Amino acid sequence: GVHIIGARAAEMIAEAVLALEFGASAEDIARTVHGHPTFAEALMEAAAAVRK
């Protein structure tokens, strides 16, 4: 599952739920186009950090 607490959590959780439903990997999330600047972009940055 996904737990996100804080301001703008609703903006970020939708992408995480979509990734879970489709079995996306951290690499899949990192390679997805993200608008800038958005809070959802933080998910992309976290996923990219997994690969390092």
* Given 36, 42, 46, 51, the catalytic residue: 36
Let me know: does 37 contact 8? Beta carbons within 8 Å.
no
**Phi–psi pair at 44, nearest 5 degrees:** -60, -45
Known catalytic membership, residue 34: no
Residue 51 CA to chain centroid, in angstroms? 14
Q: Which residues are catalytic?
A: 36
